[in-house]
Amino acid sequence: MNKMGLVYLLAFGAFVMGTAEMVVMGILGMISNDLNVSVGTAGQLVTLYAVVFAIGTPILVSLTGKMKRKRLLLLTFTLFVIGNLVAFFSPNFTVLMISRMILAASQGVFTVVALMVGSSLVEPQKQGNAIGIIYMGFSTALVAGTPLGTIIGEYWGWRPVFMLIAALSVLAMIGIAVWMPKVQEQKPTSIRDQLLALKDRRMVSGLMITFFWIAGYQLMFTYIAPFLETAVGMNTTMISTALFVCGLFAVMGSRLGGYGADKWGIGKTLLISLLLHAAALAVLPLAAATMVSALIILAVWFGAAWMTTPAQQYYLISLSPKTSGLALGLNSSMLQLGMAVGAGVGGWVANQTSLMQLGWVGAVSILLSVITALYSFSLKSRKESVLSN
């Protein structure tokens, strides 16, 4: 298998793992009814996943730093399969919570290692594209994996969803075992070194780009269904269809972000995507006046939001090329933290004002990300400026 084929194999793994993370949101009610817990309690499955992902990823990446990358990819998928089987056989909610911890830990390590391996397989001028392809796997999970899992849950129950994910994981493992070459491991980064990295202003400001960006996105996305229902007048079927179509733009955005990072430079791609993102969120409450205008702005929003992802990952790698696992691990934690904060702030805004205010508040958060990016870019490295990349 050629190098780009291997990158797409990692993207398939990202799709499988991303589906396990996001599908719970579509089958939450089924889990609640089957295990006799409230929807609010069932929602802790999402919170726990984010917490374990955020805290566990940098620690586990550090502890597994000496392992061969191929072996580590296979180990993460082995644990991932076990986590899905535990979910399938879980007799109660507590055991299901344990399965989510296993899944979050394995996905966190896989995400970092897959991005490291994918970018190392290709030439330097194609690294942004490789990262974009891998992230296309995660965005495809949003487009196809989550709706498919929801449909399966509706007809056959929520447990078979996890069995199907386990089966797809085995296919990914076989592909990695057969075709993935040996990749040199990085020198392990201690927890102390990770904390010391937070003294680097460029790294901290780079991570804050992620925080403000994902917080602004999640602030609106968490409540997108009730927003479209109340503001635009869509029913459940129309909302599902709209999110599916917009999800396709998320996939295209991932590819465009990776291509742009290589073709136009990291800085320009990041700023363009963030400004489009902020503009789309600011206009969304106004665009809700008609269904057509709302759909157009939703498409721009999804595309711009996911366009940021590969460019941002590539930027952080460029800040710490010799310890890219450290940068990506910290960024994964920041993503989960930002998602939790965004969802919480969005709930507070909706309760205190209305759903119509979410877009504008989200746009403010994205603009803070733009300001942070400009500050981070101004801290030039000794060799070159990212804007001339």
Give 111-137 pLDDT, tens digit per residue.
989 988 888 888 877 877 888 788 788
Q: Which one of 155, 188, 221 terminates a domain?
A: 188
Asked if 129 and 15 sit in the same domain, the reply is yes
Residue 85: CATH number of its domain: 1.20.1250.20
Q: Are residues 254 and 119 in the same domain?
A: no
Q: Is 182 helix (H, G, I), strand (E, B) or coil?
A: coil
Residue 385 confidence (pLDDT) above 70: no
Q: Of 188, 218, 240, which closes a domain? A: 188
pTM above 0.85, yes or no: no
- Return contacts of 169-173, CB within 8 angstroms, 24+ apart: 169/16, 169/77, 169/80, 169/81, 169/84, 170/81, 171/12, 172/9, 172/12, 172/13, 172/16, 172/77, 173/74, 173/77, 173/78, 173/81
Task: Give the span between the Cα atoms of 106 and 193, in whole angstroms.
Answer: 22
Residue that wins the pLDDT comparison between 346 and 209: 209
pLDDT digits (tens, 9 = 90+) for 200-238: 788 889 999 999 999 999 888 877 777 888 888 887 678
Quick one: which of 119, 129, 124, 162 has its CA closest to 328? 119
Please, are residues 234 and 228 in contact by the beta-carbon 8 Å criterion?
Answer: yes
- Is 183 found in the same domain as 163? yes
Average pLDDT for residues 58-81, to the nearest whole number? Answer: 90
Of 385 and 16, the structure prediction assigns the larger pLDDT to 16
Predicted confidence (pLDDT) at residue 290 exceeds the cutoff of 80: yes
The model's confidence at residue 323, banded by pLDDT at 50, 70 and 90, is low
- The mean of the pLDDT values for the chain is 85
Q: Which range marks the domain in which residue 315 is found?
A: 189-389
- Domain identity same for 30 and 136: yes
The answer to whether residue 325 scores a pLDDT higher than 80 is: no
pLDDT of 186 reads 56
Q: CB neighbours of 355 closer than 8 A, spacing ≥ 6?
A: 223, 226, 227, 230, 231
Alpha helical stretches, state H, 23-158: 24-34, 39-42, 44-63, 69-89, 93-121, 127-140, 146-156
Q: Are 218 and 342 in contact (CB under 8 A)?
A: yes
For residue range 50-69, list pLDDT tens digits in order.
Answer: 888 888 888 888 888 788 88
Q: Per the structure, how many domains does the chain have?
A: 2
- To which residue do tokens 């089924």 refer? 30
Among 172, 188, 204, where does a domain finish?
Answer: 188
Clarify whether residues 138 and 3 are in a common domain.
Answer: yes
Structure tokens at 101: 């911890």
Give the model's pLDDT for residue 324: 65
Q: Are residues 166 and 286 in the same domain?
A: no
- Look at residue 341 and tell me whether its pLDDT is greater than 70: yes
- What confidence score (pLDDT) does residue 223 get? 78
Give the count of beta carbons closer than 10 Å to the beta carbon of residue 80. 26
pLDDT in tens, 159-169: 999 999 999 99
Both 72 and 211 in a single domain?
no
Same domain flag for 20 and 143? yes
**Which residues neighbour 305 within 8 Å (Cβ) at sequence distance 6 or greater?**
213, 217, 250, 253, 273, 277
User: Do both 39 and 179 map to the same domain?
Assistant: yes
Assess whether 166 and 243 both reside in one domain: no
Give the per-residue pLDDT at 383: 44
Which of 80-84, 117-121, 194-198, 216-220 is least confident?
194-198
Same domain (yes/no): 304, 368 = yes
Tell me: do 163 and 311 sit in the same domain. Answer: no
